[in-house]
Structure formats: structure tokens, C-alpha cells
């Protein structure tokens, strides 16, 4: 039971981290002066959203 609970907690943590990362990356991309940097940040943010979607 403890092992299953830990697995659930770990997965929930990954989802939460990805959600927070996505928001921050989008915020930083909007503040970026360099379009190439903004594009990279948005690409990483998209990867975080895909990670979230893959867990559902």
C-alpha cells in the first residue's frame, strides 16, 4: 500500500511541477527581448504541457 501511495505521490508531483514550469516559461517568454530565446522558452513550455497530457 505504501509503495502504491508513493507512486501516486511521485506522479502527482511531476504533474504539478510541469504545470508550474509551463506557466513560468510562458511568462519568461513574454518578457524575453530576444525572439530566439522566447521561441526556445515556448518550446520547452509546450514540452511541459505534453508531459501533463501524457499522464492523463
Give yes or no for a contact between 11 and 55, defined as CB atoms under 8 angstroms apart: yes
- Residue 34 is predicted with a pLDDT of 98
Pairwise CA distance, residues 49 & 35, whole Å: 21
DSSP assigned state of 55: T
Q: In this structure, what are the phi and psi dihedrals at residue 7, rounded to the nearest 5 degrees?
A: -60, -45
Question: pTM of the entire structure?
Answer: 0.82
Pairwise CA distance, residues 50 & 25, whole Å: 14
What integer best gives the mean pLDDT of the chain? 95
pLDDT tens by residue, 30-54:
999 999 999 999 999 999 999 999 8
Pairwise CA distance, residues 17 & 15, whole Å: 5
Amino acid at each position: 500500500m505504501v509503495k502504491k501511495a508513493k507512486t501516486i505521490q511521485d506522479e502527482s508531483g511531476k504533474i504539478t511541477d510541469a504545470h508550474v514550469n509551463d506557466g513560468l516559461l510562458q511568462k519568461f517568454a513574454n518578457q524575453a527581448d530576444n525572439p530566439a530565446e522566447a521561441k526556445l522558452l515556448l518550446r520547452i513550455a509546450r514540452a511541459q504541457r505534453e508531459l501533463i497530457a501524457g499522464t492523463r
